[in-house]
A and B are shown apart, each in its own frame.
Chain A
């Protein structure tokens, strides 16, 4: 935690961690600059901003040089194969990993993994991890004084089906505090790790829940400057997916970058 505390120092006064107001003002400035750019004709940005001051841990960990554009080679256009040899069906149910029922709001999350052309990503690995209903991770470095749940670990895996669908049953995670700034709280989220049909599509991201009041305050969520792009990380509540007297249903689709099999483009196209 000492690293987090150090990086959370307020540039104006290194002894004092920034306040939520400081962080919110920094976020507002970044977003305003982005909107002004769009108004002036700059292209929209679909990606997360890796150089994002309000998220203090990013300061020393983002590349400062431009990413180097390159045409992917054969190995990068392929992807490791995963299957039922790797993942058992029961690993998609985070509520049955112990002898008892975990505490909290039981939920299902399902959706389709698609490539940029709308094609389903079949038979690929989706991994999730999350805090429990009280907002506590089982990770030994999580010092948040909320209870661990002996019936909940918070890790799951599944393989997408022939139409690219994944499905997990779990418990809705709680919000949890962190040390980015004073009174910093992460909105409830589930971490997702996804493989595509090309290794270039590898992504780790976070799924959020609709209507979370912590959204405007969170420098990680707000590191995506574009409103539409940011909203893509929020699942939809789906009452048709909700099962009576059992679990709430959320739907969240994931779109990977195109497969980059650029057969229609000449060698040097960028």
Chain B
């Protein structure tokens, strides 16, 4: 860290009343369902008592299937063709979120592919960052700089489950025994 670094502005909670502002039409659909590589990524956000969180906001940011990082604008007004890599979903009354997207490919010069994730909610005072890895890459987890540092249980909190129909299930636990591993980059 350089000495002249400016101190960062602290975070504050998203609060309960973001629903009229931040979610937008098409936010959950990074690709159309008819896209050949389309996959459903979904799950539930839980609090420390195991109760679903109905007022959370989940965002994902990812490479496309070929491992390319999009530099195209248009996430807020999707044209139906351009992959922008960003999605935003508010949880519903049962704490569920879902995205229609593609699986991220391997980015040249980078490690295992993952969905980069942030979560916000009422009661949560700061941004939480995490990652969603794909279960098919389990043979390589031991070599991943993040996953190899975690015990099996903690590691499992970062890996989606592949359901019978190909869907990816990823639950977020803000707290508790199954608490998701949240990341700090500073």
- Residues of A at the B interface (CB closer than 8 Å) are 4, 7, 46-50, 52, 55, 57-65, 67-76, 78-87, 114, 116-118, 125, 127-129, 131, 137-139, 141-142, 153-155, 157, 189, 191, 193, 199-200, 202-206, 220-221, 223-224, 228-230, 232-233, 253-258, 260
Contact = CB atoms under 8 A, between A and B. Distances in A.
B116 to A, nearest CB: 5
A64 B175 CA distance: 6
Given A50-B124, A50-B125, A233-B9, 12 more contacts: A57-B13, A63-B128, A75-B63, A75-B104, A82-B73, A82-B75, A129-B20, A138-B20, A193-B14, A206-B12, A233-B10, A255-B6
Secondary structure of the B side of the interface? loop
B14 to A, nearest CB: 5
B21 A60 contact: no
Given A46-B7, A114-B6, A205-B12, A62 B63 contact: no
B129 interface: yes
The range of chain B's interface size is 35 or more
Contacts of B51: 60
A265 B35 CA distance: 41
B107 A228 contact: no
Interface of B: 1-2, 4-22, 47-49, 51, 53, 59, 61-63, 69-77, 84-86, 104, 107, 109-111, 114, 116, 118, 120-129, 145-146, 149-150, 174-176, 179-186
Given A68-B182, A81-B84, A139 B11 contact: no
A129 B7 CA distance: 25
A86 B75 contact: yes
Contacts of A52: 125
